[in-house]
């Protein structure tokens, strides 16, 4: 039996590789019971532009990793790891500078969080390139921000001013105060850059389908904050139009990462393309080619299987590819919403949660707990499959 394991990360708990290896270990424990044939379990890291994107793409390319220190979403120093592919492409994850997992639950606040650290990382590389052309591949999933990319832009030299001419910090709470943009101090060399943005979020900037109303709640916003953020994005978009006559508010992907997609589209026109993060990672890993080589089962999963999963997230992309190749697919998650039908309709044959007893959210997020849960669940899934095969004989 040949099994492909393609797990996305369990945000705040496990990387995609850690989740995948835990599932593999559980599967192999069960397969020890079956001596009737040989077995192969292959692990591929999966990501959709969020955590794990740099690791998945750079490792498969055989590229190099570099580490710098940047500001985290609340201004604290954090390590930022990026990849350099063999063709020179720079691979980044905004989540390493401004991700949800960098902030304790009780400090989440999209009025205060910023993408400034991502801008610092980009600026460091651009300044070191001395005017050479650069290509960036930037995954923008898993953000804790709703600042329309103003933090990133500020780190690149843009200044955002209030009605008194004072410079404002780039964060969500200041979007409604911006009345002027000054680009006099923008670092040189940005016009030589190409940006491929890896995201599976295609929301517009504002409104009911925009960044604040759809995603800000999970970033710590209450209803009043959501309304303020949405109004701030309206205001910022108006100021951007006065500044450079661009209107990308209704462009798909503008609302990704709390409006970071909008910042790239509006301030680097003609230099930006959007790609599916999940597709990029699966292409780099050559999962499609592997699935065509007589695979009997695929195991996928992520921290939470819910309505957002079906909107182009990694497990759904994997499910679609498996379905195309007539490979059954099982999903393992930390938690799941009650509506399984939408997951089944999307191609997942069966779904399982690693939670087998009541515990606090804090305990459930611990790495050791998650690894043990994934391994235990994968073993039980495989035991069930083996029992079904035995009964069918």
Determine, yes or no, domain membership for 212. Answer: yes
Q: Which residue has the higher pLDDT, 51 or 375?
A: 375
For the full predicted model, state whether its pTM sits above 0.75. yes
Confidence of residue 309 (pLDDT cuts 50, 70, 90): low
The answer on 60 and 42 residing in a single domain is: no
Residue span of the structural domain in which 153 resides: 53-275
Judge contact between 371 and 303, C-beta under 8 A: no
pLDDT of 337 > 80? The answer is no
Q: What integer is the mean pLDDT of 53-66?
A: 88
Distance (Å) of CA 49 to CA 17, 24, 197, 199: 15, 23, 8, 5
**Domain match, 132 and 242 both:** yes
Which tops the pLDDT comparison, 48 or 168? 168
CATH assignment at residue 358: 3.40.50.10350
- DSSP code, position 8: P
One domain, residues 268 and 187: yes
Question: Once rounded to an integer, what is the mean pLDDT over residues 231-254?
Answer: 97
Banded pLDDT at 269 (limits 50, 70, 90) = very high
Are 110 and 232 found together in one domain?
Answer: yes
Residue at 299 is within a domain: yes
CA-based nearest residue to 204, from 255, 167, 242, 140: 255
Q: Do 91 and 195 fall into the same domain? A: yes
- CB neighbours of residue 324 within 10 Å: 12
In this prediction, residue 194 carries a pLDDT of 97
Same-domain status, 172 and 317: no
Would you say residue 182 lies in a domain?
yes
Measured between alpha carbons, how far is 279 from 312 in angstroms, rounded to an integer?
A: 9
Question: What percentage of the chain has pLDDT greater than the value 90?
Answer: 63
Question: What is the phi/psi pair of residue 326, to 5°?
Answer: 55, 35
**Residue after which a domain boundary falls, among 275, 297, 328:** 275
Last residue of a domain, one of 275, 304, 322: 275
Shared-domain flag, residues 141 and 210: yes
Distance CA 54, CA 137 (A): 9
Do residues 379 and 244 both lie within one domain?
no
CA–CA distance, 19 with 303 (Å, rounded to integer): 10
Domain check: are 133 and 217 in the same one?
A: yes
The CA angle 29-326-26, to the nearest 5 degrees, is 10
Q: How many domains does the chain have?
A: 2
Phi first, then psi, for residue 4 (nearest 5°) are -105, 125
Q: Is residue 281 part of a domain?
A: no
Kindly report which listed range (156-170, 241-255, 283-297) carries the lowest average pLDDT score. 283-297
Decide which of 241, 275, 309 is a domain's last residue. 275
Q: For residue 96, tell me if it sits in a domain.
A: yes
Query: Is 93 inside a domain boundary?
Result: yes
Say yes or no: 97 and 226 in one domain: yes
Task: Kindly give the residue spans of alpha helices, DSSP state H, lying in 36-192.
Answer: 53-61, 95-98, 116-129, 150-155
Structural contact between residues 49 and 34, judged by C-beta atoms closer than 8 angstroms? no
Is 280 within the bounds of a domain?
no
Residues 6+ apart with CB under 8 A from 274: 196, 197, 199, 252, 253, 261
CATH number at residue 270: 3.90.1510.10
Listed range (37-46, 96-105, 154-163) with the worst mean pLDDT: 37-46
Residue 312 clears pLDDT 80, i.e. is over it: no
Res 290: pLDDT? 79
On whether both 171 and 301 belong to a single domain, the answer is: no
Residue 307 pLDDT class (50, 70, 90 cuts):
low
- 349 versus 224: the higher-pLDDT residue is 224
Are 112 and 256 members of one domain?
A: yes
pLDDT band of residue 8 (cuts 50, 70, 90) is: confident
Maximum C-alpha span of the chain: 80
Q: Distance between alpha carbon 16 and the CA centroid of its chain, in Å? A: 11
Residue 207's alpha-carbon distances to 90, 267, 278, 309, 344, in angstroms, are 33, 21, 26, 21, 30
CB atoms closer than 10 angstroms to residue 216? 25
Averaged confidence pLDDT in the chain:
90
Q: At a CB cut-off of 8 Å and minimum separation 6, what does 147 contact?
A: 110, 113, 114, 115, 170, 171, 172, 175, 258, 259, 260
Residue among 146, 96, 151 nearest 123 (CA): 151
């Amino acid at each position: 039996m040949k099994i492909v394991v393609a797990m996305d990360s369990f945000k705040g708990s496990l990387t995609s590789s850690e989740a995948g290896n835990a599932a593999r270990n559980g599967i192999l424990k069960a397969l020890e019971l079956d001596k009737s044939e040989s077995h192969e379990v292959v692990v591929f890291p999966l990501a959709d532009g969020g955590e794990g994107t740099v690791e998945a793409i750079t490792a498969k390319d055989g590229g190099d990793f570099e580490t710098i220190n940047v500001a985290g979403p609340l201004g604290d120093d954090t390590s930022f790891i990026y990849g350099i592919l063999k063709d020179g492409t720079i691979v980044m994850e905004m989540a390493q500078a401004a991700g949800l997992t960098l902030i304790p639950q009780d400090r989440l606040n999209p009025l205060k969080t910023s993408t400034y650290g991502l801008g610092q990382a980009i600026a460091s590389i651009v300044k070191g390139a001395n005017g050479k052309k650069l290509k960036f591949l930037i995954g923008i999933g898993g953000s804790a921000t709703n600042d329309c990319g103003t933090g990133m832009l500020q780190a690149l030299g843009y200044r955002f001013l209030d009605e008194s001419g004072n410079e404002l910090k780039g964060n969500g709470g200041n979007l409604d105060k911006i009345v002027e943009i000054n680009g006099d101090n923008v670092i040189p060399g940005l016009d030589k850059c190409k940006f491929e943005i890896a995201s599976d979020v295609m929301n517009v900037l504002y409104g009911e389908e925009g960044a604040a109303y759809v995603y800000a709640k999970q970033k710590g916003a209450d209803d009043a904050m959501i309304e303020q953020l949405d109004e701030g994005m309206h205001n910022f978009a108006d100021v951007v139009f006065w500044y450079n006559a661009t209107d990308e508010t209704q462009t798909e992907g503008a609302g990704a990462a709390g409006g970071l997609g909008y910042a790239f589209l509006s301030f680097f026109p003609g230099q930006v393309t959007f790609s599916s993060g999940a597709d990029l990672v699966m292409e780099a890993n050559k999962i499609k080619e592997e699935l065509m080589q007589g695979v009997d089962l695929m195991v996928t999963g992520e921290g939470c299987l819910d309505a957002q999963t079906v909107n182009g997230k990694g497990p759904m992309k994997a499910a679609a590819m498996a379905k195309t190749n007539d490979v059954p697919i099982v999903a393992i998650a930390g938690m799941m919403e009650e509506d399984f039908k939408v997951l089944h309709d999307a191609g997942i044959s069966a779904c399982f949660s690693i939670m087998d007893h009541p515990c606090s959210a804090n305990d459930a997020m611990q790495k050791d707990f998650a690894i043990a849960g994934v391994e235990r669940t994968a073993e039980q899934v495989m035991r069930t499959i083996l029992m079904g095969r035995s009964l069918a004989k």
